[in-house]
A and B are shown apart, each in its own frame.
Chain A
Amino acid sequence: MRFHAIDGSKPKMTPQSSFMIIAPLDVRRTDELRSLLVSMNSAPGNANPKNEIIPFGRLEDLHFARLVILEDQTLDDITTAYGLPRRSYPTYLAFLGDFDGDTNRFLKELVAQAGNGLRQIFSFCEDFQPDCDLLSWMKNHEQRPATMYVNWAGRTMRQIREEDALRNGLEACLQNNASVFVGKSPREIRDTLKEFVRSETIAGRLRLTMPGQMPLTWRIRNLLHLVGVPLVLLFFTPLFILYLPFFAFQLRRREKRDMEIAPRVDSVHAEKLADLEDRDVTNQFSALGSLKPGPFRRWTLVFFLWLVQYTTRHIYNRGHLARVPSIHFARWVFLDNKKRLIFCSNYDGSLESYMDDFINKVAFGLNLVFSNGIGYPKTDWLVFHGAKDEQKFKYFIRRHELPTEVWYNGHPGLTNFDLQRNRRVRQGIERQSMTDAEIREWLELF
């Protein structure tokens, strides 16, 4: 079923952006930082929206945010698997979030709302000077993702809030008038609901803002990317074809040799992670790992993340990443000169169902990216097997997962399905005309 905006024109919207500020910690003070972070929570791992350090709730355009200490538990793997010396990396503090609109504007707003708290947090970072300009320090420590996924491009927090209020209002109206609606035709019911929305809107209790204009520069850049990437690929096709046999040879040689490191997860670590989860219908996931050594894996990963970025930007931006509908936002970010990768996501349901989705629905996609990481369950031809080795994959995932000290969800209790359903509820109210069948289908949304 297709819906159209009220004025018949193509809907316009605000793009979602992300920030990730990352800086090395003074490791002697990690515990102190951890207790500061814990003080921001109302339940383990779950931020109090009104906490004094960063009052997330005041940032109206913020969908999700988190603070994670990137303590890598798997640095010995390179020695185990490849006999190479352990590399030492700084322990970073990462502060990241997903929001509507322009990054500069958002960071300014963040500094205005939480300047003192941010200074307090960043004072645990090695190179933070108390008298520095906070905004430029943050910008200097920004790390852009290699790939970014947004469940529904253009869906703003304002839209989410308004449509949730609309649905709740309609639900209450249906409930309070259940006896009145008995025997009414779907069309009559819809007319009554439309009238309800009209009067509620006039009374100022409901509001449905028309989506804002997508910036022109954004549209131009997007178009260039849409056309540019296939052109680049096309241009290099002859080279790719020539290189393919070598690639296959290099890949297979490694796939046969690479060691799996997926032991049973330490129970203390697993319990700590589980303690933070399932306090909301949505959960967070943060994982960190090292790439397999050498340029082959590094450039394979760079290439495929670049391809995935194309699909998430232009194809998978309408409610599902391949077959997975449960992810709100996700990102893949390179660290330390592309020697390590961090993956962060926000997803509906529990970790067990999230991993179930990974294994049963998008194992090929997971393999494509994560098989370039040390210890990943054995893949064949980059996409086969790997995650399909269910238990090893789950152990691998859990082992690389980091406890997310502070996590904020701007719309607790609302899954991606809910958001999409609410949008359809709204469309059914705003549309000028609908057939009886369409109205019946629309009523099924309640």
Chain B
Amino acid sequence: MPVNAIDYSDVQGLVRFGFGGMTECCFYLVNIKDVLAARSWLASAPITTAVEMKPIPSTALQVALTRAGLETLGVPGKTIAGFAPEFVSGMTGEESRSRRLGDVGANSPTCWQWGYGKKTPHLLVMIYANEGLLKQWEMSVKGNLWDAAFQVLERLPTSHLGAVEPFGFVDGISQPKIDWERKRSVSGDQLDYSNLVALGEFLLGYPNEYGKYTDRPLIVPADDASDLLTAEDHADKKDLCRNGTYLVMRQLQQDVRGFWQFLDKATDSNPEARQKLGEAMVGRAMNGAPLLPLSNNPIAGVGPDDQDRDYNQFTYQGDDAGTRCPVGAHIRRANPRNADFPQPVRGLISHLIRILGFGRKDIRDDLMAPTRFHRILRRGREYGDFLAPKEALEPAPPDDPEHGLHFICLNSNISRQFEFVQSAWIMSTKFDGLTEESDPLIGNREPVRGCPFSNAFSVPRESGLRRRVTGLPQFVFVRGGAYFFLPSVRALRYFAKVGA
């Protein structure tokens, strides 16, 4: 095997695949009831790996653990303390974290269905199957140890809505491309937006976009750790996290009726304007088409297939004012598609001038961080039945079922990736010079000191004066969430025996 090749059989499949063909899926949040039984279950769990299989398998199983899960399994405290501080503390571990993530007001963890206090799970068990196969696969995955080993906190069902999310927009079409071959050079400033991202951003144990190995627990080789891989950057240590990553999960309830009814009211029930305003908030047409023309130049990590190019070969360069895609649109906040410099830099002198902070063209220059350090790989699944926009305009019947998204993302540095995107971009009322806004889709509309309102949305227009939509209610509510570690297969087997 070449030195740089990744052992896919050690990586959980979710890092490489979305299991899109497996349209049936459910997530178990469980606590460990009996450690011995749990260990045995983990030792033999048929984890699906990232090895490319032909034919594509029809079922999959993934397992991730919280800090509490690691503790219960008997992973030494010293080892656990080496995991990312955010993971150790947990999504709801500190009030300041909740504040940064926007988990305040109606999103406050105290109102959550799971993920807070006693309802913090030990394990996340993700079960995927082709249509019609889930029930059977679920039984098979559980085997005869499950009931003895685990106490189920939640079984979260999901639904397959085609390619769309509950509001009706095509979703999941823009993902960073992982540099599995480790060909990307990250030295020096990156002058163009690249969708190809260093392996170390999504998998621990490899260099990240800074060319560094993300901090993680390295352990002294001992008998029970003998199967673990050696750390690339410390030849004398075993790398517990290599081929693993962090998994962020948040249950986001979507008020589909509230969303479309608000749009309807804001556009005087004009169906075309209604859809247009919704598309401006999302930043894409309902069918997923970008609101900007495609760029003539290829973007690293976009394509080669035509559909990906049609969806993603664009940046916001040239649309600084946001007249094509509003600056505050959801997808523009979540991925501003910029490079290390706000304006193109060509040549050494120009580079030097920009480094020193001269040659600024716009007062919004340099307000935003370079995107490449803040990418996440999304692996979420929807839940609830599909409610077409037209139906959503009808008043809610009694017992209107819940709709939403089990947001799942993978990243190797939770604070720099997920948390940064969530706090500095999505929730920020000051994103890219905006005022009194938060993400039009998922913002919580909570006031911040000195900023009593965060419930507006501006649609810039060619004429200069924007249209300002005010009084946006909250459309998305956080119902649960936790930070998990998605271990490599080797690490999972290690966890199954470490405390024994």
Complex formed: what's the CA distance from A357 to B366 in Å?
Answer: 9
Chain A residues, CB < 8 A from B356 = 322-323
**A381: Cβ under 8 A from any B Cβ:** no
Q: Determine how close the nearest CB of chain B comes to the CB of A282; give it in whole angstroms.
A: 8
Q: Which residues of B contact A189 (CB under 8 A)?
A: 464-465
Q: How far is the CA of A443 from the CA of B463 in the complex (A)?
A: 9
Instruction: Report whether B450 and A186 are in contact in the complex, using a CB–CB cutoff of 8 Å.
Output: no
Contacting residue for A350 out of B100, B360, B367, CB 8 A: B100
Q: What's the Cα separation between A323 and B365 when bound, in Å?
A: 9
CB contact list, B198-215 vs A, under 8 A: 210, 212, 214-215
Q: Could you tell me the distance between the alpha carbons of A279 and B98 in the complex, rounded to whole angstroms?
A: 12
Q: Find out whether the CB atom of A274 lies under 8 angstroms from the CB atom of B96.
A: yes
Specify which chain A residues have a CB less than 8 angstroms from the CB of B433 in the assembled complex: 417, 421
- B373 near A391 with CB under 8 A, answer no
The CA of A393 and the CA of B67, in the complex, are separated in Å by 25
Q: Mark A392-417, 1 if CB is under 8 A from B, else 0.
A: 00000000000000000101111101
Q: Which residues of A contact B365 (CB under 8 A)?
A: 325
In the complex the two chains form, what is the Cα distance from A323 to B352 in whole Å? 11
Partner of B97, one of A174, A274, A321: A274
Evaluate contact between A411 and B424: CB separation under 8 angstroms. no
A323 touches B210 (CB 8 A): no
**Which parts of A253-281 form the interface with B (CB within 8 Å)?**
264-265, 267, 270-271, 274-275, 277-281
Q: Name which of B39-47, B87-95, B157-165 contacts chain A.
A: B87-95
Name the one of B215, B321, B366 contacting A324, with C-beta atoms under 8 angstroms: B366
Q: A356-B373, A443-B465 are in contact. Are A279 and B449 (CB under 8 A)?
A: yes
Find chain B residues with CB under 8 A from A414 CB: 450
Instruction: Say yes or no for A181: interface residue by CB 8 A criterion.
Output: yes
Asked if A366 is an interface residue, CB under 8 A from chain B, the answer is: no
B364 close to chain A: CB less than 8 A: yes
**Taking the nearest CB of chain A, how far is it from the CB of B269, in angstroms?**
17
Chain B residues closer than 8 Å to A280, beta-carbon distance: 448-450
Contact between chains at B449 and A46 (CB < 8 Å): yes
Most buried by A among B89, B373, B449, B468: B449
When C-beta atoms are compared, the residue in chain A nearest to B448 turns out to be A281
- Complex interface: chain B residues within 8 A of A359 (CB): 210
How far, in Å, is B366 (CB) from chain A's closest CB? 5
Contacts of B429 in A (CB 8 A): 281
Interface residue range, chain A: 35 or more
Chain A CB within 8 A of B428 CB: yes
B430 contacts A360, C-beta separation under 8 Å = no
B369 x A424 contact (CB < 8 A)? no
Q: How far is the CB of B318 from chain A (nearest CB, A)?
A: 15
From known contacts A278-B96, A323-B355, A360-B340, infer whether A267 and B88 are also in contact, taking CB-CB under 8 Å.
Answer: yes
Q: Who on chain A is nearest to B360 by CB?
A: A320
Is B99's CB within 8 Å of the partner chain A?
yes
What 1/0 mask marks residues of chain A from 306 to 323 whose CB sits below 8 Å from any chain B CB?
000000000010011111
Smallest CB separation, B101 vs chain A (Å)? 10
Beta-carbon contact of B430 and A349 below 8 Å: yes
CA distance A264 to B218 in the complex (A): 13
Chain B residues with CB below 8 A from A388, complex form: 210
> Counting CB contacts under 8 A, is A352 at the interface?
yes
In contact, B451 and A281 (Cβ under 8 angstroms):
yes
Interface membership of A175, Cβ < 8 A: yes
Contact with A along B256-283 (1 / 0, CB 8 A): 0000000000000000000000000000
Instruction: Name the residue on A nearest B187 (C-beta).
Output: A388
Q: A271-B96, A350-B424 are in contact. Are A360 and B373 (CB under 8 A)?
A: yes
CB distance from A318 to the nearest CB of B (A): 10
Residues of A within 8 A of B215 (CB): 264, 391
Interface residue B309 (Cβ < 8 Å from any Cβ of A) = no
Q: Is the CB of A424 within 8 A of B363?
A: yes
Compute how far the CA of A444 lies from the CA of B463 in the bound complex, rounded to whole angstroms: 9
Task: For the complex formed, measure the closest distance between the CB of A107 and the CB atoms of chain B, giving whole angstroms.
Answer: 27
- Residues of B contacting A348 in the complex (Cβ-Cβ under 8 angstroms): 430
Tell whether A186 pairs with B423 under 8 Å between CB atoms, given A413-B448, A413-B451.
Answer: no
Task: Verify if B85 is at the interface (C-beta below 8 Å from A).
Answer: yes
Q: Is there an interface contact between A174 and B468, defined as CB atoms closer than 8 Å?
A: yes
Per the bound structure, the CA–CA distance linking A409 and B448 in Å amounts to: 14
Known contacts A275-B96, A278-B96; is-contact A322 B357 (Cβ 8 Å): yes
Evaluate contact between A412 and B450: CB separation under 8 angstroms.
Answer: yes
- Complex Cα distance A321/B429, Å? 23
Q: Are B369 and A281 in contact (CB under 8 A)?
A: no
Closest B residue to A281 by beta carbon equals B430
A323 to B, closest residue via Cβ: B357
Is A439 an interface position by the 8 A CB rule? yes
For A443, the closest partner residue in chain B by CB is: B464
- Among the listed stretches B12-20, B49-57, B414-422, B487-495, which one makes contact with chain A, having 4 or more residues with CB under 8 Å of it? B414-422
Please tell me if the beta carbons of A274 and B430 are within 8 angstroms of each other in the complex: no
Q: Decide if A444 touches B357 in the complex (CB within 8 Å).
A: no
Is the Cβ of A175 less than 8 Å from the Cβ of B464? no
Shortest Cβ distance from residue B5 to the other chain A in the assembled complex, whole angstroms: 26
Question: When chains A and B are docked, how far (Å) is the Cα of A324 from the Cα of B365?
Answer: 10
Contact across chains for A267 and B89 when beta carbons are under 8 A apart:
yes
User: Among the interface residues B97, B364, B367, B413, which one has the most CB atoms of the partner chain A within 10 A?
Assistant: B367
CB of B119 within 8 Å of the partner chain: no
B177-211 vs A, CB cutoff 8 Å, 1 = contact: the mask equals 00000000000000000000000000000000010
Q: Which residues of B contact A364 (CB under 8 A)?
A: 355
**A390 — which chain B residues lie within 8 A by C-beta?**
210, 212, 416
- Within 8 Å by CB of B214, from A181, A391, A439, lies A391
Most central of A43, A46, A415 by chain B CB within 10 Å: A415
| Chain B residues, CB < 8 A from A320 | 357, 360, 366
User: Is residue B481 within 8 Å, beta carbon to beta carbon, of the partner chain?
Assistant: no
For the complex, give the distance between the alpha carbons of A353 and B422 in Å: 12
* Residues of chain A within 8 A of B448, CB atoms compared: 279-281, 413
A356→B99 contact, CB < 8 A: no
Contact A321 B357 (CB under 8 A): yes
Whole-angstrom distance between the Cβ of A169 and the nearest chain B Cβ: 14
Q: Which residues of B contact A271 (CB under 8 A)?
A: 89, 94, 96
The complex places the Cα of A420 from the Cα of B448 at a distance, in Å, of 20
Nearest chain-B residue to A326 (Cβ)?
A: B367
Q: How far is the CA of A274 from the CA of B357 in the complex (A)?
A: 30
Contacts of B420 in A (CB 8 A): 352-353, 356
Q: Is A3 an interface residue (CB 8 A)?
A: no
Is A446 interfacial (CB 8 A cutoff)? yes
Report yes or no: B89 in contact with A325, Cβ–Cβ below 8 A: no
User: Which A residues touch B303, using CB under 8 A?
Assistant: none
Q: Per-residue 0/1 for B385-423: is the Cβ within 8 Å of any A Cβ (1 yes, 0 no)?
A: 000000000000000000000000000010110011001
Q: Cβ of B212 and Cβ of A418 under 8 Å apart?
A: no
A361 lies within 8 A of chain B by Cβ: yes
Q: Given A178-B468, A278-B96, are A417 and B363 neighbors across the interface (CB < 8 Å)?
A: yes
For the complex formed, measure the closest distance between the CB of B459 and the CB atoms of chain A, giving whole angstroms. Answer: 12
Q: At the interface, yes or no: A440 with Cβ under 8 Å from chain B? A: yes
A441 within 8 A of B: yes
Q: List 13 A-B contacts (CB under 8 A).
A: A174-B465, A174-B468, A280-B449, A322-B357, A324-B357, A348-B430, A357-B369, A361-B366, A390-B210, A391-B214, A414-B450, A420-B363, A446-B465
A389-B212, A413-B449 given; name 18 further pairs at CB < 8 Å.
A186-B465, A271-B89, A279-B448, A323-B366, A349-B428, A356-B416, A360-B370, A360-B373, A391-B214, A413-B451, A414-B450, A417-B363, A417-B364, A418-B435, A424-B363, A441-B464, A446-B465, A446-B468
Interface, chain B (partner A; CB < 8 A): 81-82, 85, 88-89, 94-97, 99-100, 210, 212, 214-215, 321, 340, 354-357, 360, 363-367, 369-370, 373, 413, 415-416, 419-420, 423-424, 428-430, 433, 435, 448-451, 460, 463-468, 470
Q: List the 8 closest A-B pairs by CB distance, nearest first.
A: A413-B450, A412-B450, A443-B464, A440-B464, A274-B96, A322-B357, A413-B451, A323-B357
Give residues in A with beta carbon < 8 Å to B: 43, 46, 174-175, 178, 181, 185-186, 189, 264-265, 267, 270-271, 274-275, 277-281, 316, 319-326, 348-350, 352-353, 356-357, 359-361, 364, 388-391, 409, 411-415, 417-418, 420-421, 424, 439-444, 446
